[in-house]
Amino acid sequence: MDLMYLLHALLRKKWIIIFCTVIGLLAAFVFTMFKPKSYRSLAQYSTGFTMEQKVKIKEEASFNIYEIDLRFNNVIETFKSPKVIGMVSYKLLLHDLEDKFPFRTLTDEKKNKPEYKNANIDKARQILRSKIINMDMLNPFDPEEKKIFDLIKLYGYDDNALAGKISFSRVERTDFINIFCSSENPLLSAFVVNAIGEQFIRFFNNIYGSRAQESTAKLDSFTASKKAEVDRLTEKLKEFRQKIGTPNVADRASAAMSVVQELTSNFQQEQAKLNNLRGDLNAVEEQLRSLVSPGNNSLPVNNNAEILRLRKENEDYELQKAGKSDEEGRRLQTQIDANLKKIQQLIASNTPDRQRKIEKSQLKESDLIDKKIELQQKISAAEENVKLFRKQKDEYEKITATGGGEEVILKAKEDELRIASQEYEQLKKSLQASLDLDVNPENNFKQTMVGQPAFKPESGGRAMLLGVAGVLMFFLSSFIILALEFLDSSYKTPSIFQRSTRLKLLSSLNHIEMKRKPLNEYFRTNGTVDRTDEGNLFVESLRKLRYELENSGKKIFLVTSTREQEGKTTVIEALANSLSLTKKKVLLVDANFSNNTLTQKFEAKPTLEQFSLNGQNNAMDKFLSTTSMTPIPNTDLVGCAEGNYTPSEVLPKNNLLENLSRIAEKYDFIFMEGASLNVHADSKELSKYVEGIIAVFSAKSVLKQNDRDSIEYLKGTGDKFVGSVLNNVEPDNIEL
């Protein structure tokens, strides 16, 4: 399809496009006029993710940007979690039920609903207070709590309603998160942004606070154990000093060799232990990475204090097993197994399935972090031990040749006590620091900006909305018009017609309104020109067609078409009017037996089927008796009767058509109308009586297979086919 045609199609429908655009602007204006006012509040919170930890188990801990981004995503998802949003919903409903100035007041219509009538307000307040204190969710399967849940929805404080009003965003390249809330009440917006942060901090502290307490308890246990070891080594050193009195230097070599052997064994054991600990640490870190992978953005949302208590108890039992007898160790192991069974039962009893999975994930992550801390501490201690054992072994290997005795053994015991004392001091420092700051800095959330009620509503964005609505309607209406034009496969323009049919085009006749003005009125030349632009264009196009026929060297023409109602009668009548202006004498022959429009329009005598010479000499006189006068100057008409037959079936021998060459001597042009080629064979039978064939096509027609067959027939007539006329073309499409 031609691009120029599409552009002209848009120009022709410009008023429709303008009307649609105006409708869009009016609709947007009305929408913004009745749009309720919205007040927006902002609160800001600091996460502390990039703050340096005060407690460092390993000095080489790095600053991981990827993990920080992951934590921000997890925090935002936790802000959106059902538990945090649920706590805000409960606080909002509790406020509206208790405060003198509620954020929202139910209408009489809503108060008459069952959700409000069935609710026990006093009991609802008690349940809501309990849920907020314990951070528990309402159980939809409990009848009383289900009523509260329905009441929350009635007030518009449910999860879906709040989620659509709250938005979260990280302040780029900072530790801060902005929380926005928009609602019809400025106090409500401010309350939500402050309450959601408060409930989030409570929730997050419950999760990581328990973990931090557990880590502190473990550090306390390690410190106590190491202190006991230091006390034991101190006592042993004291007893040994009392035992040896003054050392005997004669035994230095043998004592040094004994110490070397012991140090070598300790060094190898400690090195193997260090390798195992590093392998375990790598495994734990790999599991932690899998837990905080990009596809797992949800944070734990359950705090099971009983499970944590049992785990802590098991850890204490593990520490107590050291140095115990086999029987006592089995008893402690039995208690540990019993606690593990209880933990499994508690985990399995939690519902629904999603909550149980989240709790398992929480416990697993907590275990892994604790285990990581423990392994890092053990690795740190083992590395120091390996260094000291290697150094001592090297020193005592040098003095094996010189002897050592009790002095060497005494020095070894002192070194052992010194190592244990260093480990004890390091644990004491970590324990003291953990009392000031949790081991994990993830719960260092602080509210740095308190949400305030907005003084004025948000801008309605009327100008932007009007612009968007206008542009959308403009392009939408234009697209629909282009789509309709594109789907329209009719000829429409002369260029499309010629490209589709490959026929010679004599002229293109534009559409004219003949109901208000008869066709012959367009050809009147009384000195005044009252034709419209469309009328002038039509007359000029007829003049071009007249010129083509006058220069064709032919006088007798058959005017036909591929289908009915293409405008053959109109073209013949218009040609007769145009030729009459040049004083040409024209004969019209209506041979369209299936639709004798010419005969009916000019009320001519149906004499075509009756004319026959039969050897008569006065042929012209007999012919003149069969013609009828028309209102068109110098134009006669031979009519026919309407019927379902072809010319060969109804015309007699030596009929008028066989004598057209004789009759043509009296006329300048003879135009014969035949039936459509797609349906009837009339025009094919009539073609042998004429010198030229003219095919009329309507610009509103669509090329189909029957039309293709008829067009091939016209091309097969050779020189007889003079050309085609494209009728009923829109004036704007004439030049396209």
Q: For 257-272, what is each residue's pLDDT tens digit?
A: 677 777 777 777 878 7
| Percent of the chain residues past pLDDT 90, beyond the cut | 14
Cα–Cα distance, 100 to 677 (Å, whole number): 89
Q: Looking at 46-50, 146-150, 244-248, 540-544, which range is the least confident one?
A: 244-248
Residue 709 pLDDT > 80:
yes
Which amino acid would we find at residue 359?
E
Buried b (16+ CB within 10 A) or exposed e, 497-518: beebbebebbbbbbbbeeeeee
Cα Rg of the chain, angstroms: 52
Cα–Cα distance, 226 to 420 (Å, whole number): 7
Domain residue extents for the chain: 1-35+460-488, 208-444, 491-733
Calculate mean pLDDT across residues 628-656: 89
Q: How confident is the model at residue 532 (pLDDT cuts 50, 70, 90)?
A: confident
Q: Tell me what the pLDDT averaged over the chain comes to.
A: 79
Residue 529 pLDDT > 90:
no
pLDDT digits (tens, 9 = 90+) for 396-446: 766 665 544 566 666 777 777 677 777 767 766 665 555 544 444 445 677
Q: Looking at 94-108, 300-314, 552-566, which range is the least confident one?
A: 300-314
pLDDT digits (tens, 9 = 90+) for 338-348: 888 787 777 66
Parallel, antiparallel, or unpaired for β 692-698 and 39-46? unpaired
Closest of 689, 671, 679, 660 to residue 594, by C-alpha: 679
Calculate mean pLDDT across residues 200-210: 69
pLDDT digits (tens, 9 = 90+) for 46-55: 877 665 544 4
**Model pLDDT, residue 572:** 93
pLDDT digits (tens, 9 = 90+) for 65-119: 777 777 788 888 888 888 888 889 888 888 888 888 888 888 888 888 888 888 8
**Model pLDDT, residue 250:** 47
The DSSP code for 674 is -
Give the DSSP H/E element, type plus range, for residue 83.
helix 82-98
Q: Name the 3-class secondary structure at 618.
A: coil
Cα–Cα distance, 694 to 446 (Å, whole number): 91
| Percent of the chain residues past pLDDT 70, beyond the cut | 79
Cα–Cα distances (Å) from 701 to 372, 399, 724, 726, in that order, read 82, 116, 14, 10
Residue 297 pLDDT > 50:
no
Pick the CATH number of 491-733 from 3.40.50.1370, 3.30.420.40, 3.30.530.20, 3.40.50.300: 3.40.50.300
pLDDT digits (tens, 9 = 90+) for 593-609: 989 999 998 888 898 88
Residue 499 pLDDT > 80:
yes
Q: How confident is the model at residue 299 (pLDDT cuts 50, 70, 90)?
A: very low
**Model pLDDT, residue 587:** 93
**Model pLDDT, residue 427:** 64
Q: CA quadruple 727, 730, 731, 733: dihedral positive or negative?
A: negative
Q: Looking at 33-37, 128-132, 405-409, 423-427, which range is the least confident one?
A: 405-409
Give the DSSP H/E element, type plus range, for residue 91.
helix 82-98
Q: How confident is the model at residue 721 (pLDDT cuts 50, 70, 90)?
A: very high
Say how many Å lie between the first and final Cα of the chain, rounded: 11
Residue that has been written with the tokens 């559409």 in this structure: 511
Calculate mean pLDDT across residues 328-357: 71
Alpha helices in 443-532 (DSSP H): 462-487, 494-501
Cα–Cα distance, 308 to 367 (Å, whole number): 10
The total of other beta-carbon atoms located within 10 Å of residue 641's CB is 16
The total of other beta-carbon atoms located within 10 Å of residue 220's CB is 14
